[in-house]
Chain A
């Protein structure tokens, strides 16, 4: 009985979600909450509770271990964690969170709660007066980038969007809009399906099963043999060519019709038993279902994600991380992804290039970055120039952050010219069309939290420069770096230094309004100069390890 009910749910779920609809948003209204976790279809369970952190086998970093780090390392680890999640806090807020003594568990708890006003977020990103809506340039991908920017809290909805974003960057779920056979809505359907199923506590086997059976997936891998081969390789790391004809046979009645690239499942299905995954299968549904139930599945998907987050670990180190995760018996994407992100291995020992999304979204929150209508179209295009295009590639981002000269220079150029050297004009705050609305806002330099009273010019300048360094690259300026700026911005004898003409943070004027403006203008010049230098540092572009 439960099989029949469940099978109907699968089919209905696939239809609704596959068509780009939202599926159900209310929490399983017709289902008893406890019985939900026992629903299965031929052995494939649909829903799972996420593992509690206490059951993670890849050792997580605890609050007390975090608190025992040096101040410098606390800042580094906190920013590494937040930027990995595409998030950040202004320096003052971050300091107080770090000082709370429960930074790690607070973040974990925030990710369990629903605090974002979803309705507001969704309506904001579709407001064409603030976010350009176009029929070109894959608006669907642009909306996803805009959403990540608009969400202003770390919460469960944020996490589900982040998970969906990460998965759609990989070979497993890339909507692959570069292909002729894929269409723009596939971006939305693949991504939203994951978000919706995560909201419903869908397990990763079920989410993958639904994805593999979808038209979106068939638009990427388009013949029975191709689709079968790739699913085996992508999710099980199975490259045995002798398995391919078996998969092709099971999928013999599946076809991507050229008319609107429509997936058609014919009635001419295979009816002879086939041996695969240590069991008997007959048709495509059997193939996809038994594939996700296979023992190799968890190994395959964990490997994919470990590669994504630990690109510079040796094979031995990666295997160790992977095996620890697998031993915790993960059944949800969150079980793997948060286990990685909160682990000591990741937070303390991992060094890798930071993705452009990690750099952009975290910086945006920290420097109170203001967007204009076209900002996210521009970001999407720039990601393509960096060869970090979102959801574009047929095989996903196997190399998440290419650092060849051309890719990196485009990355640098974007961060330097479109983010760090752009100051938002406060007079244009209501004019989203204005070019000079884009950039860091005056709040970034106004709210530095520094008490300038009783400080000399030199001490004040040092404090301000260090504030910019700490906000953006989580460290203070070195002695040599500081001296370079002091030489340029100060003159006069030691102990009685004065600002050179355009950097006077304390310029006076009889008109108090003018005085404020003059001082902020000076701070702005200092900031741009410091950021010009910071853009040239690899600290801006890497997730560092703790030394």
Chain B
């Protein structure tokens, strides 16, 4: 009965309205970007970004402080019926076994200290603002989204042009990743949407016989009773041309312009086959797994696609304020799917180029509250997989401590003194870097790429 799609990407897009006064980045000027063609060509990076809307708890990938947490928590962690630590202090029942496998294969790094001092200082843990900031890779209200910036830069360096096929693809609608800045995005740089089942709403059918001119009818009378196939009649082309000329709304114009090519793009991907993944096949009957499978197929089959974005619709959202027990299953499914995705990438010999980046707007408070859930926090894990041609995976990075504020329901994990940590904006900086941008700090308001990779 229920659809656990949770928060759509599109819900967050207008949240920038509520951004606080503080602002760090400046408007970016394309001429200030140092772009390296050789890094771009060497990496040939392609990325799947999975955004965990709602703010996922970091505990699945970090049980280091669980003893202290259990002692200080309002409700008992026995509620979870299984809280076993793995070798690297991951939560075995919550995807930990798969995490360990990915780590031991050198396929993944877990960063445990993605923390925002800026938000700490500004008392902000609101979904909308934090999502917008993380997807823009900037605290500045007027910044464009990470992918919108990247699109402009790749286009200005002639990496992408009008002939590039679907450079940016979304399986969850448009998000702040694609928010335009002061320079509007050309139509070919805007993301295109597909569904996990590769439904093809872009196909335009129902062509009645009377759409054709008399001359056309005289040429091939048999076709005029065929409602579905027919052929592109002159009137159809003329209508298309005239509508294109008359339409003013850029988004609608863009959607119509891409309709026909999207239709064949989807058919091509839908007809492509999945390699044998052995024991690592994608989980069955799981919309999220299907989305990831489709996303990897797109990246593998179409090297023009640079980035695919998706949320975790199909698994559920991560805003676990209550009854957090099913978080465990969600994490298990997430990492089982990610393991399959890595196997898929490897089976296609693309692990050097294709990477997967998993993060959200924030992590969570670690007090298990009276409703057996976790409220908002300010430290999250970042999971980076693949991209082995340019990422040197380190397994686990970062150490945390438990900050007991003394207030009820206010137990937070924070970076341990001396431990490596970074603001969420560094995620954007890292993405920019692997695509050949040598001075990404200019786009993130001073935040460097994650230098430990």
Interface residues of A (CB under 8 A from B): 136, 178-181, 184, 221-226, 229, 233, 237, 239-242, 244-245, 248-249, 252, 255-256, 258, 307, 311, 315, 353, 385, 387, 392-399, 402-410, 412-413, 416-417, 421, 478, 480-481, 484, 488, 491, 500-503, 525, 528-529, 532-533, 536-538, 541-542
Question: Do A223 and B129 touch (CB < 8 A)?
Answer: no
Stretch from B40-48, B88-96, B187-195, B434-442 that touches the partner: B187-195
A484 near B376 (CB under 8 angstroms)?
no
Do the beta carbons of A393 and B192 come within 8 Å of each other? no
- Jot down 9 A-B pairs with beta carbons below 8 A, ordered by A: A136-B1, A222-B322, A223-B371, A224-B409, A244-B125, A394-B319, A404-B170, A407-B193, A542-B252
Provide the residues of chain A in CB contact with B194, threshold 8 Å: 406
CB pair B4 A180 closer than 8 Å: yes
Cβ B371 vs Cβ A394 within 8 A: no
Q: B242 to chain A: which residues have CB within 8 Å? A: 480-481, 484, 533
B2–A178 contact, CB under 8 A? Answer: yes
Binding site for A on B (CB under 8 A): 1-8, 10-15, 17-18, 20, 123-129, 170, 173-174, 190-195, 201-202, 204, 206, 208, 210-211, 213-214, 235, 238-240, 242-243, 245-249, 251-256, 258-259, 262, 316-317, 319, 321-323, 369-371, 373, 375-376, 407-410
Q: What is the bound-complex CA distance between A408 and B255, given in angstroms?
A: 7
Cα of A481 to Cα of B239 in the assembled complex, Å: 8
Chain B residues, CB < 8 A from A394: 6-7, 11, 317, 319
Determine if B193 and A180 form an interchain contact, defined as CB atoms under 8 angstroms apart: no
Evaluate whether A488 and B235 lie within 8 angstroms (CB atoms) in the complex, with A241-B124, A402-B174 already known.
Answer: yes
CB distance from B228 to the nearest CB of A (A): 12
Contacts known (A239-B20, A402-B10, A538-B253); A255 close to B371, Cβ less than 8 A: yes
Docked-complex contact A528 and B14, CB < 8 angstroms: no
B178 to chain A, nearest CB (A): 8
**B123, A395: Cβ atoms under 8 Å?**
no
Known A-B contacts A179-B2, A255-B370, A393-B11; the reply to A406 vs B249 at CB < 8 A is no
Residue of B nearest to A528 (CB): B208
B17–A403 touching, CB < 8 Å: no
Does B210 contact A256, Cβ atoms closer than 8 Å? no
Taking a contact as CB atoms closer than 8 A, the residue among B245, B249, B371 that contacts A541 in the complex is: B249
Q: Are B409 and A405 in contact (CB under 8 A)?
A: no
CB pair B206–A180 under 8 Å, yes or no, is no
Known A180-B2, A525-B210, A537-B246: A229·B201 in contact at CB below 8 Å: no
CB-contact partner of B249 in A244, A488, A503, A538, under 8 A: A538
For B126, list chain A residues within 8 Å (CB). Answer: 229, 233, 239, 241
Q: Determine chain B's interface SS by DSSP, over half rule.
A: loop
Q: Which of A245, A385, A409, A410 has the most CB of B within 10 A?
A: A409
Q: What CA separation (Å) do A406 and B190 show in the bound complex?
A: 12
Which residues in B have their C-beta under 8 angstroms from that of A541?
249, 252
Contact of B210 among A249, A252, A529 (CB under 8 A): A529
Complex partner residue of B240 from A184, A417, A536, CB under 8 angstroms: A536
Smallest CB gap from B166: residue in A: A405
B contact residues around A416 at 8 Å (CB): 204
Q: Let me know if A533 and B11 touch, CB within 8 A.
A: no
Nearest first, the 9 A-B pairs at minimum CB distance are: A406-B193, A226-B321, A404-B174, A403-B251, A536-B243, A241-B123, A223-B371, A223-B321, A222-B322
- Which A residues lie within 8 Å of B375 (CB)? 223, 225-226, 229, 244, 248
Closest A residue, CB atoms, query B129 = A239
A385 CA to B213 CA, complexed, in Å: 34
Question: CA of A480 to CA of B214 in the docked complex: distance in angstroms?
Answer: 20
C-alpha gap A501/B249 in the complex (Å): 36
B263 to chain A, nearest CB (A): 9
Contact B17 A413 (CB under 8 A): no
Check A242–B123 contact: CB distance below 8 A: yes
A residues less than 8 Å from B174 (CB atoms): 402-404, 407
B232 to chain A, nearest CB (A): 13
Given contact pairs A393-B8, A402-B173, A405-B262, A311 touches B14 in the complex (Cβ within 8 A): yes
Q: Is the CB of B214 within 8 A of A536?
A: no
CB-CB < 8 A to B15: which residues of A?
398
B123 near A178 with CB under 8 A, answer: no
Contact B247 A538 (CB under 8 A): yes
A315 contacts B17, C-beta separation under 8 Å: yes
Knowing A178-B2, A223-B369, A406-B201, the reply to whether A501 touches B214 (Cβ < 8 A) is yes
Residues of B within 8 A of A399 (CB): 10-11, 13-14
A440 to B205, CA, bound (A): 19
- Whether the Cβ atoms of B409 and A248 lie closer than 8 Å is yes
Verify A407–B10 contact, CB threshold 8 A.
yes
Contact of B4 among A178, A398, A409, A529 (CB under 8 A): A178
List 13 extra interface pairs beyond A224-B369, A403-B252, CB under 8 A.
A180-B316, A222-B323, A222-B373, A223-B322, A223-B375, A239-B124, A241-B126, A252-B370, A353-B249, A353-B252, A409-B262, A525-B210, A529-B211
Whether A484 touches B201, Cβ cut-off 8 Å, given contacts A223-B322, A405-B191, is: no
Q: How far is the CB of A323 from chain B (nearest CB, A)?
A: 15
Q: Contact partner of A387 among B4, B128, B173, CB < 8 A?
A: B173
Residue of A nearest to B248 (CB): A538
Q: A484-B238, A536-B239 are known contacts. Are A405 and B258 too (CB-CB below 8 A)?
A: yes
Contacts of A180 in B (CB 8 A): 2, 4, 316
Interface contact A222-B255, CB-CB below 8 Å: no
B208 cross-chain contacts in A, Cβ below 8 A? 525, 528
Whether A229 lies near B376 (C-beta < 8 A) is yes
CA distance A393 to B311 in the complex (A): 15
B323, A258: Cβ atoms under 8 Å?
yes
A196 to B375, alpha carbons, bound, how many Å? 34
Q: Per a CB cutoff under 8 Å, which of B2, B6, B11 touches A398?
A: B11
- Please pick, from B190, B252, B371, B410, the residue contacting A245 in the complex, using a CB distance under 8 A: B410
Interface centre among A178, A184, A416, A529, by most chain B C-beta atoms within 10 angstroms, is A178
Are A225 and B13 touching (Cβ within 8 A)?
no
Minimum CB distance partner of A396 in chain B: B11
Least Cβ–Cβ distance between A266 and chain B, in angstroms: 10
A1 to chain B, nearest CB (A): 37
A252: B residues at CB distance < 8 A: 370, 408
Q: What residues of chain A lie closer than 8 Å to B256, measured between beta carbons?
A: 412, 536
Partner of B211, one of A178, A398, A532: A532
Partner of A241, one of B125, B195, B238: B125
**Given contact pairs A241-B123, A399-B13, A406-B192, A256 touches B247 in the complex (Cβ within 8 A):** no
